[in-house]
Structure 1
Amino acid sequence: MWGASVTAVMVLTEFLDVGLNTVNKAAMNRGLSDFVLVLYSNIFAIFILAPCIFIFYRKRTPPLITWSTICKIFLLGVLSYAGQICTYIGLGYASPTLASAMADLTPAFTFLFSIISRMEKLDLGIKSSHAKSLGTLASISGALVVTLYKGMPLTGTPSKNRLLDEVLVIPQSNWIVGGFLLASHSVIFAIILNVQTWIIRGYPAEMMVTLICNIFVAILSSVVSVIVEKDPNAWRLGLNMELIAIVYTAAFAVAFRSVVHKWALRKKGPIYVSMFKPLGMVIALAMGITFLGDKLYLGSLLGVAIIAIGFYAVIWGQAQEDKMVADTEICDSEQSSTKHPLLSNRGLVV
């Protein structure tokens, strides 16, 4: 039941994530500063999370936090700030399409860092490890096919590759800088997933960790923003696209998505969470065809099929590993009952 719940919430998160880059890009084109966006969105997220935590822990006690956990969360805050800055500056130089393409590299980096940090075990003698490894490679390949290859049109009249169209519009130097920063975010985000798993398995309070992390990010961002952003007009907000972008980023990306990721990381691990990034390309493609009248191309159809196969392989591998863990726990419980028969029958205890 929990496995299906985690998958459903992660898919919903990717649906909400599809429009985030587009909204932020539109706001940046209207003059929204990258540094102001990071600062305001984290401050707003603090005011969103604080009452939620108060309500959630009103009748229960949160886990006791230690200085060691606070230091770990501070490290997470530094990484989160670096990742957000790379994302928004890179998005300003490039485009939402390139941002989606670079995000598809996240599973590869996450897989590598998870093996190095031993968050995930790679046993090539087990079918579940084979499935997760091949599924990760398939999903990355499928996402790249969707982004970079169109093929013959299956509906309507042919048009150029969207990514190539954007290359012609955006100067090559900006495109290279933006691509490098967005790729850097994929590396940082892969590290963040492993660090969050490390923290949340020792301190299982997702909202508390997210709130403390946001406070650290807000402090770091305020120091950097005051130094970097000299234009006083950049700090003014009105009822416009800039405000929509900040509220959207705060409520969804900084608060809701962060909590959901930590919850899924605690239950499933970093590779599982990273696998939903290529799925975002499928969602964006389907929504474009359904609501915007975009044309369907052979490359897109092939890419979606490859992503679906890879995604299913990883989900199947994760399910097999969860089953093995459950079977091991049951076996250990039965052995314990056999060794201590008095514990298995309270009626025999005087």
Structure 2
Amino acid sequence: MERRNCWKDVVPFTAMVTVECTNVGVQVLFKAATEKGLSYYVFIAYSFAVSTLVLLLPLPFFIQRSRGLPPLKVNLIFKIFLLGVMGLVAQLCGYKGLQYSSPTLSSSLSNLIPAFTFILAIFFRMEKVALRSSSSQAKILGSTISILGALTVVLYKGPTIFSTSSSAKTTPTIDSPLGSTPQNWVLGGSLLVIEFFLVPVWYIVQTTVMKQYPAEIIVVFLYNLCGTLISAPVCLLLEQNLSAWRINPDVTLISILYSGFFSTGLSCLVHTWGLRLKGPVYISLFKPLSIVIATSMSVIFLGDALHFGTVVGAVILSIGFYAVIWGKAKEEELSVDDIVRAQPPPDNKTPLLQNSNGGIITHNNC
């Protein structure tokens, strides 16, 4: 029983925390690579290609072990293709928004994912809502607070409350290679909001895919393969400068390899496994963890300035996030109690033999 609880609780928790750390690392490396001149169209296309190649290596072994799975039907392949389209659009919006803003803003706005996921899960009947229940009230209130916090982060930048000496000298450009004007900040935040709305939609569709075909590595490989086939021509059209596709052996190459292995590869695989095990709302609840990691790494490695609006919005977002967590935990506790109450009391009378008239002769264990 203890080993079973560890598999269902401790292992998913540890995996989600690790994935959030690696995802913030991708954002910081991408930000540093764009300052070296890396095109984010090139970055996305190469990341999909690297993850496809990485997942291709163990694929024959898992295909051999998955012979009992149902066949890949046309509607399932269409859903995986749709996942590839959504993944590409989300990354286009996300990385462009990151260029206009900073990893700190991106991680702060990622707290919108639990709220959006909860709302979509209700719409698709993956979450139950009882308006008189305290757990449902907490989840609804927490989702609303999270959205208000996100609006605060996007619309109010505020004064600088902390910056390194290098960032103080280069404030106009360090937050973003495209300039840190209020217009760019709002545009970057808006693009990030679009990304963080598409991510929960991706979670919902991926959950339905896993119910239909419960083989994580095969589904994730097909997703990355679709992403590669879609992103290659799209990114070539958007980035027509062929010299931009030549990668230098510096931080640009490191960021692409890191993203391909950890973000579009390992992170996607862990999220898909978690979606099948715990559902979309649970996976989305770990996004606020990235705020502290992103803020520290951005200030230390990129020289980003920390703004008052980001801190205030992050606090509001975190309050909403923990309200949703409390509501989710309370709901699970109530559901366990209901199951216990529904179980019949143990019968201390054991049937020993049946008489000729069909009656049961019993023996009292007491």
TM over 0.5: yes
**CA positional deviation for 1:290:** 9.6
Distance 2:237 2:136 in 1: 48
**CA positional deviation for 1:275:** 2.2
Q: Does 1:86 align with 2:102?
A: no
1:348 alignment counterpart: none
Maintained 8 Å contact 1:39/1:221: yes
**CA positional deviation for 1:316:** 4.4
Maintained 8 Å contact 2:103/2:294: no
User: Cα gap change, 1:164/1:183 in structure 2, threshold over 3 Å: closer, same or farther?
Assistant: farther
1:109 alignment counterpart: 116
Amino acid at match of 1:129: S
User: Cα gap change, 1:179/1:307 in structure 2, threshold over 3 Å: closer, same or farther?
Assistant: closer
Alpha-carbon displacement from aligned partner over 1:97-155 (angstroms, at most 9, x marks no partner): 3322332322332222222222222222333323433444455666777896889989x
1:119 alignment counterpart: 126
2:258 alignment counterpart: 248
Which secondary structure state, in structure 1, belongs to the residue aligned with residue 256 of structure 2?
helix
The number of residue pairs the alignment matches comes to 336
Alpha-carbon displacement from aligned partner over 1:2-29 (angstroms, at most 9, x marks no partner): 1332222111211222222121011112
When structure 1 is superposed on structure 2, of 105-114 and 80-89 the one drifting more is 105-114
Where do 5+ consecutive residues of structure 1 fail to align? 336-340, 342-350
Maintained 8 Å contact 1:146/1:281: no
Structure showing greater Rg: 2
Q: Does 1:15 align with 2:25?
A: no
Distance 1:299 1:92 in 2: 19
Partner residue of 1:45 out of 37, 51, 54 = 51
For the aligned residue pairs, the C-alpha RMSD in angstroms reads: 4.0
**CA positional deviation for 1:68:** 1.5
> Percent identity at matched positions?
38
Where do 5+ consecutive residues of structure 2 fail to align? 346-350, 352-366
Maintained 8 Å contact 1:282/1:304: no
2:9 alignment counterpart: 3
Amino acid at match of 2:211: R
User: Cα gap change, 1:329/1:60 in structure 2, threshold over 3 Å: closer, same or farther?
Assistant: farther
Amino acid at match of 2:81: F
Q: Does 1:257 align with 2:267?
A: yes
Distance 1:328 1:257 in 2: 35
2:207 alignment counterpart: 197
Q: Considering fraction of residues, name the structure with more helix.
A: 1
Which secondary structure state, in structure 2, belongs to the residue aligned with residue 31 of structure 1?
coil
Amino acid at match of 1:101: S
2:188 alignment counterpart: 178
**CA positional deviation for 1:254:** 0.2
Amino acid at match of 1:108: A
User: Cα gap change, 1:133/1:7 in structure 2, threshold over 3 Å: closer, same or farther?
Assistant: farther
Distance 1:134 1:187 in 2: 18
Distance 1:270 1:128 in 2: 17
Q: TM-score, normalised by structure 1?
A: 0.78
**CA positional deviation for 1:39:** 1.1
2:229 alignment counterpart: 219
Amino acid at match of 2:287: K
**CA positional deviation for 1:310:** 5.0
Q: Does 1:77 align with 2:84?
A: yes
Amino acid at match of 1:236: R
2:281 alignment counterpart: 271
Q: Considering fraction of residues, name the structure with more strand.
A: 2
Alpha-carbon displacement from aligned partner over 1:226-264 (angstroms, at most 9, x marks no partner): 322221211112311111111111111101111111122
Alpha-carbon displacement from aligned partner over 1:274-304 (angstroms, at most 9, x marks no partner): 2222221133346679999999999999877
Maintained 8 Å contact 2:97/2:191: yes
2:356 alignment counterpart: none
Distance 1:296 1:94 in 2: 12
2:355 alignment counterpart: none
Maintained 8 Å contact 1:151/1:298: yes
